[in-house]
Amino acid sequence: MIELRPAGLFLLLLTTLLLGACGGGPAPDARLPADDDDVAGPVVGPRWNLLLVGTDERLSMPETPHFTVSGDGRVSGSDGCNRLTGQVQFGAGKRVEFSELATTRRACPEADDAQRVTDMLENAYRYLIDHDRLVFFGPDQRVLGGWRRAD
């Protein structure tokens, strides 16, 4: 019997999710329709903690990068060094678009990694969820990173 360790299982999951996300969809520059309705879905509500950048890179930060999406589409959390806020919209085909992201500007030795976390959110185009894992993909279908739902 083959035994998969958590890291191997996560890589297998990411590969499976990536293959599933390679299907057709709207053009990369397509914008989500704006509406005033509340947002709903599995991303809304829980706190999401950063697990990996890309498919396998773990960041060592003063605080675990995380975010939460409220029912009105507001995003709040931390990039690992700074507080962040913004908006998010979800669309058909697991489409996601973060906007108006802003962070505080505290001095932090890991400022470059903190910016990478913010960039991941800004560049997220599509998402997939499997159990307690959330993966963001860019418009080119490349895995941007993975998050784990906090219990």
Residue 108: CB atoms within 10 Å: 17
Residue 18 lies in a domain: no
Q: Is residue 26 part of a domain?
A: no
Q: What is the pLDDT of the chain when averaged over all its residues?
A: 80
Predicted confidence (pLDDT) at residue 37 exceeds the cutoff of 90:
no
Compute the distance between CA of residue 138 and CA of residue 99 in angstroms, rounded to an integer: 15
> Is 17 within a domain?
no
The reply to whether 143 falls in a domain is yes
Q: What is the pLDDT of residue 19?
A: 41
Q: What's the number of domains the chain is made of?
A: 1
Q: Is residue 122 situated within a structural domain? A: yes
Distance of CA 3 to the CA centre of its chain: 28
The Cβ of residue 94 has, within 10 Å, a number of other Cβ atoms equal to: 17
> CB neighbours of 14 closer than 8 A, spacing ≥ 6?
55, 135, 143, 146
Q: What is the pLDDT of residues 64-100, one digit of tens each?
A: 999 999 999 999 999 999 999 999 999 999 999 999 9
Would residue 23 count as lying in a domain?
no
The CATH number of residue 66's host domain is 2.40.128.270
Buried b (16+ CB within 10 A) or exposed e, 11-28: bebbeebbeebeeebeee
* 23/137 Cα distance (integer angstroms): 12
Domain, as residue range, for 127: 38-149
The model carries a pTM of: 0.74
Query: Is residue 2 a part of any domain in this protein?
Result: no
User: Residue 7 — pLDDT band, cuts 50, 70, 90?
Assistant: low
Domain membership flag for residue 9 = no
